[in-house]
């Protein structure tokens, strides 16, 4: 017979920034996703899944110029160069539109907005959805930064304000608590306050986002250096903005001047005064979270001393649905940085089922009897499987040991004749004859 | 303040061949995946997840020439055209190596083989893994054929033969049964028999795969036309090959001549004679399942009258691990065509939790009290959430109705003062005053 033509040996490797997850990691990650999903469902959020691949027309321009560059573009299939005019081949920029029209999903918000626009007629607003899927970004890979990572998002489309905010806080508290996080801080601010501060400072309103970016630095460098930086350029930041003062009475006096915030003050006061071992709410007047995207409350969760930055974030935003021709609806969302959270929590992974399993080791029994033993165990609710071949018994037992399996049910012609097994309890070095109909009970 | 520059409206659409999954579909699919995962774990298979993106060097040449063409290639990031020599821009074929080095995962077998090669030192062989993830193929989209679809694979690496075969049959039976499939047929054959038939027919062995492809047509067109086709070219197929004869004694006489199959005959006989409402095993001497890939048993599961082709398939194969520099190990696997199965089964989706929920509708209560009502329900194990704003009560109730929510807990200043709610049972048109501490019980 013809010999199969073997391909050359290939070095097994992954592209940089991408990861495999072995059994223990898959179990741990899966449990974390499920924990969050259950909490989302408890609050009436419904699951949505969108494809990995979206049209470039849907994605482009949604993530800023930098974001557009970080899209993983998919090459058109077939002879994509056939109809490209010669002059288009001059540069990457001119060639691009001819050879690619799709890209990998960059986040979960834009695909959700697209979906809501497509299904607006059938949906009941406010529409509450959650989505737990990977996203892809062509970032330079770094320690802890990957090119494929999961996002866990909840969003409510067609609502904004205090009640959704309180819901987000409760979801964050329940989710982080269940994942084993303690001592997290929910940093809270509102766009209206930032605008008020810009006006007070006399900052040119045409450059509001530069104001926010600069203010946002207070988290890293502190309030005084930021204040000094503004002062150097002749801008005097109001003292009530000092984030170190927290939710001071001077700050509250300012907030009470803002029609967007004044009615919420008593509730905010209570929220902020509530101490909690998992998640405490703090007002953070300098939190900006990047630019024009947000329209109301903004928030970011950090864990002091965790060694990672924000572990969840979100805010009120214009939902993007109208960009896709759908209704113009406000929205509010919270995204869990689940990959970061998993790096520093001891979130329990569900027990490896191996520990509970039985290996059926066999020598001269019939395959039918071997299978019968496995089936008997399954029917008794015990995970079990047979060693694939009647190799030396010591080899089969070593396999069970290396996989961490406690019980080995040994069968040969003798056991088949008497419908029993030799049941060995590996860690306890005990071996007894057990009739088949008592086997499942004996392995509990 | 500067107006946010709105991007132009974009038509919300998906690339052809890609799909969204709304809440009901996600729930149904997720339940199906979980069902299979539980069965795989019961047999000692462990979960593996690999990234969506692999190096082209890993994928190329593994799926045949046709497969290479169906890879979704990812364009290199940055100014990928900068260092491309002018002559390479002449054609797609010459340009390709310069502008792409990664592609989307095409199946789950090659990534698994790569992973096993990378981790061979730590693994315990036979290594049993399962994997449930999407794959991508740039196929021409058709009814029921998608460019992104899930595969559910179990593979055992470092084993072959009868015991793994019996395990695959049991896994298929348990999996299909749990997904609601009835009357499926497990078509079974062995490469050794096909080789024996080719020798018997006098077919040139250098063209063994053409022999298989031709034989494989018997499933569609029947045995007689295939026989005639061979005859036209002067080849006489042996009568014992007739798949319509099943596991006949003439066939068994042939099988007993083959050292690979003779020892398995008694067990095969039993397997084939076992009638089962979910999955019956049938010998199918003309089943070839494409070429050189397989080394021993091959199988394919079909459901007569389901309107879809094979719903699961697999066989014994050379594991590919050695192609990546790992040990040379035989393997056996089964892949569920889960997307196809879901098209014709009535697999129960888990109940939409909405039906069990409570909407907290509110008018002039404080947000804190609204939140307290939600919390009280959650602590009693009842999913619940508040309408996001104190809109007209009729509007809030309509929302509950449209979402299929049974209970509405109505709160205003009066209820807050007495720590109670007006609980309306929507389908039964009953409304009663319920104190907060009796609320969870009242909603059961």
- Structure confidence by residue, pLDDT tens digits, A306-353: 888 899 999 999 888 999 999 999 999 999 999 999 988 865 566 665
* Residue A246 CB neighbours (<10 A): 12
Q: What is the pLDDT of residues B92-146, one digit of tens each?
A: 999 999 999 999 999 999 999 999 999 999 999 999 999 999 999 999 888 778 9
Chain A residue numbers with beta carbons less than 8 Å from the beta carbon of B118 are 12-13, 20
Supply the pLDDT for residue A65: 85
Give residue A145's pLDDT band: very low, low, confident or very high (50, 70, 90). Answer: confident
Chain B residue numbers with beta carbons less than 8 Å from the beta carbon of A440 are none
Chain A residue numbers with beta carbons less than 8 Å from the beta carbon of B78 are 69, 92
Question: How close are the terminal C-alpha atoms of chain A, in Å?
Answer: 51
Chain A / chain B CB contacts < 8 angstroms = 318
With an 8 Å Cβ cutoff, are B82 and A95 in contact? no
Residue A1: pLDDT over 70: no
SS (H, E, C) chain B: CCCCCCCCCCCCCCCCCCCCECHHHHHHHHHHHHHHHHHHHHCCCEECECCCEEEHHHHCCCCHHHHHHCCCEEECCCCCCCCCCHHHHHCHHHHHHHHEEEEECCCCHHHHHHHHHHHCCCCCCCEEEEEEEEEECCCCCECCECCEEEEEEEEEECCCCHHHHHHHHHHHHHHHHHCCCCCEEEEEEEHHHHHHHHHHHCCCHHHHHHHHHHHHCHHHHCHHHHHHHHHHCCCCCCHHHCHHHCCCHHHHHHHCCCCCCHHHHHHHHHHHHCCCCCEEEEECCCCCCCCCCEEEEEEEEECCCCCCCEEEEEEEEECCHHHHCCCCCEEEEEEECHHHHHHHCCCCCCCCHHHHCEEEEECCCCHHHHHHHHHHHHHCCCCEEECCCCCCHHHHHHHHHHCCCCEEEEECHHHHHHCEEEEEECCCCEEEEEEHHHHHHHCC
Q: What is the pLDDT of residues B332-386, one digit of tens each?
A: 999 999 999 998 886 556 666 556 689 999 999 999 999 999 999 999 999 999 9
Radius of gyration of chain A (CA): 29
With an 8 Å Cβ cutoff, are A92 and B115 in contact? no
Going by C-beta distance under 8 Å and a sequence separation of 6 or more, which residues neighbour residue B365? B411, B412, B413, B415, B416
Supply the pLDDT for residue A2: 43
Q: Which residue has the tokens 């690999």?
A: B50
Burial class (CB in 10 A: 0-12, 13-18, 19+), A405: buried
Q: Cα(B235)–Cα(A252) distance, rounded to whole angstroms?
A: 94
Task: Characterise A161 by phi-psi region: left (phi > 0), alpha (psi -120 to 50), beta (else).
Answer: left
Provide the shortest C-alpha distance from residue A384 to chain B (in Å): 6
Residue B326: pLDDT over 80: yes
Going by C-beta distance under 8 Å and a sequence separation of 6 or more, which residues neighbour residue B340? B144, B308, B309, B311
ipTM surpasses cut 0.90:
yes
Q: Which residue of B has its CA nearest to A88?
A: B89
Going by C-beta distance under 8 Å and a sequence separation of 6 or more, which residues neighbour residue B249? none
Q: Which residue has the tokens 């994928």?
A: B59
Give residue B307's pLDDT band: very low, low, confident or very high (50, 70, 90). Answer: confident
**Torsion sign, CA atoms B285, B290, B294, B300:** negative
Q: What is the pLDDT of residues B92-106, one digit of tens each?
A: 999 999 999 999 999
Q: Are strands A184-190 and A279-283 parallel, antiparallel or unpaired?
A: parallel
Residues in chain A: 444
Instruction: Decide: A371 and A416 in contact? Cβ < 8 Å.
Output: no
Radius of gyration of chain B (CA): 29
pTM, to two decimals: 0.93
Chain A residue numbers with beta carbons less than 8 Å from the beta carbon of B29 are 49
Q: Cα(A290)–Cα(A297) distance, rounded to whole angstroms?
A: 13
Instruction: Decide: A365 and A338 in contact? Cβ < 8 Å.
Output: no
Q: Which residue of A has its CA nearest to B62?
A: A7
Going by C-beta distance under 8 Å and a sequence separation of 6 or more, which residues neighbour residue B273? none
Chain A residue numbers with beta carbons less than 8 Å from the beta carbon of B120 are none
Residue A292: pLDDT over 70: no
Give the single-character DSSP code of A142: B
Supply the pLDDT for residue A319: 86
Q: Residues B381, B382, B385, CA angle at the centre, nearest 5°?
A: 130
A204 φ/ψ angles, rounded to the nearest 5 degrees: -60, 120
Nearest to A12 among B52, B58, B136 (CB): B58
Question: How close are the terminal C-alpha atoms of chain B, in Å?
Answer: 51
């Amino acid at each position: 017979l013809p010999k199969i033509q073997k391909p050359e040996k290939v070095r097994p490797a992954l592209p940089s920034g991408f990861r495999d997850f072995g059994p223990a990691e898959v179990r741990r990650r899966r449990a974390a996703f499920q924990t969050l999903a259950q909490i989302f469902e408890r609050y009436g959020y419904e699951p949505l899944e969108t494809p990995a691949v979206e049209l470039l027309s849907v994605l482009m321009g949604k993530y800023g110029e930098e974001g557009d560059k970080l899209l993983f573009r998919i090459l058109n299939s077939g002879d994509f160069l056939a109809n490209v005019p010669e002059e288009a081949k001059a540069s990457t920029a001119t060639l691009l539109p001819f050879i690619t029209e799709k890209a990998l999903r960059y986040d979960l918000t834009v695909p959700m907005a697209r979906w809501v626009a497509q299904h607006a007629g059938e949906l009941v607003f406010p529409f509450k959805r959650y989505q737990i899927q990977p996203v892809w970004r062509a970032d330079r890979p770094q320690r802890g930064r990957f090119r494929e990572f999961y996002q866990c998002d909840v969003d409510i489309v067609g609502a904004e304000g205090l009640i959704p905010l309180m819901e987000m806080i409760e979801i964050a508290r329940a989710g982080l608590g269940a994942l084993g996080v303690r001592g997290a801080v929910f940093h809270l601010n509102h766009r209206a306050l930032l605008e008020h501060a810009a006006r007070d400072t006399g900052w040119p309103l045409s450059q509001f986002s530069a104001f926010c970016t600069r203010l946002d630095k207070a988290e890293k460098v502190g309030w005084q250096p930021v204040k000094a930086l503004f002062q150097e350029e002749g801008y005097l930041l109001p003292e009530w903005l000092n984030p170190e003062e927290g939710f001071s009475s001077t700050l509250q006096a300012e907030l009470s001047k803002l029609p967007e915030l004044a009615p919420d003050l008593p509730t905010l006061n209570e929220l902020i005064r509530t101490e909690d071992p998992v998640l405490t709410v703090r007002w953070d007047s300098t939190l900006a979270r990047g630019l024009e995207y947000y329209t109301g409350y903004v928030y970011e969760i950090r864990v002091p001393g965790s060694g990672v930055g924000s572990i969840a974030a979100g805010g009120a935003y214009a939902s993007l649905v109208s960009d896709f021709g759908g209704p113009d609806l406000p929205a509010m969302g919270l995204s869990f940085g689940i990959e970061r959270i998993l790096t520093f929590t001891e979130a329990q992974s569900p027990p490896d089922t191996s520990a509970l399993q039985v290996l059926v080791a066999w020598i001269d029994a019939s395959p039918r009897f071997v299978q019968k033993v496995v089936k008997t165990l399954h029917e008794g609710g015990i995970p079990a499987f047979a060693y694939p071949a009647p190799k030396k018994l010591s080899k089969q037992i070593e396999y069970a040991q290396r996989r961490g399996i406690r019980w080995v049910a040994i069968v040969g012609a003798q056991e088949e004749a008497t419908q029993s097994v030799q049941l060995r309890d590996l860690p306890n070095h005990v071996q007894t004859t057990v009739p088949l109909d008592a086997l499942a009970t004996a392995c509990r």
